[in-house]
Structures are given as structure tokens and as C-alpha cells.
Amino acid sequence: MADEKEPFYEVLAEKLEAARLRVVQDGRLEDLRLISEYLDILKRSGIPSEAARKIAEGQEDLPNLLAMVFGMGVADDATVTLQDLANRRDPPQTSKFDNMTLAANDLGDPPTDEEKAEQDLIDHGQ
């Protein structure tokens, strides 16, 4: 039986937390480098907004910790990334009909009533 895979952002959040705990214990520059990399990946990724906010909430004390151990410049970068994660919003979902309408508009022809009815049947499974 194969191991169940976790979403990458959950794995990354666990690694970020482990590096944060090592900073508390040791204050090693290697852990600072890892934290910076993890934060950069999280900032650049398109993770779901709920997960992004959860990570930001779980790491809200990270900038203060980094400022105490390594200085404010490092803390500022962490603050910006955590604010970005906390304010993430998922893009609005579009239906197949919306996509069909956009495609038809790109061609200059709006969907016909028959096309709309057919798409409605597809969307609603009737």
C-alpha cells in the first residue's frame, strides 16, 4: 500500500515550523536560509487561500523571532510574505458556460439559445 501524499504546502509548512524551532534552539544561519527559501516558495505558489491563511496564522511570531536572532532586515521579508499569505483570496470559479461564452465572444459570435441549453444540460447533468 502506497503512502498517502500530502499537499506540498502542508509539507512545506511542517518544514518551516521545524526550521523555526531550530532557530529558537541554535540560531544557525543555515536555518535562516531554509526559512527564507520556504517563505519564497510559499509566496510564489498558488496555494489555496485557506491554507495560506492557516500557515500565516501559525507563523505570526516568526518575524519577531527572526528580528531577535538575525536582525530586522530578515524580519521585514518574513513580515511581507506572511501578510501576503494572510491576505490571499482564491480566484473566482468560472462555469463551463462562462468559458463557452468567453470562447464565443473571442470569436465574435454569442452562444445561441440552443448552445446555451446544451451547455446547461452538460453543467447540470440532466
Quote the pTM value: 0.67
State the Cα–Cα distance between residues 80 and 90, nearest whole angstrom. Answer: 19
74-93 pLDDT, tens digit each: 799 999 999 999 999 988 77
Least confident residue range of 4-13, 25-34, 70-79, 91-100 = 91-100
Are the beta carbons of 116 and 97 closer than 8 angstroms?
yes
**Positive or negative torsion for Cα 20, 31, 77, 80:** negative
Secondary structure of 33-86 as H, E, C letters: HHHHHHHHHHHHCCCCHHHHHHHHHHCCCHHHHHHHHHCHHHHHHHHHHHHHHH
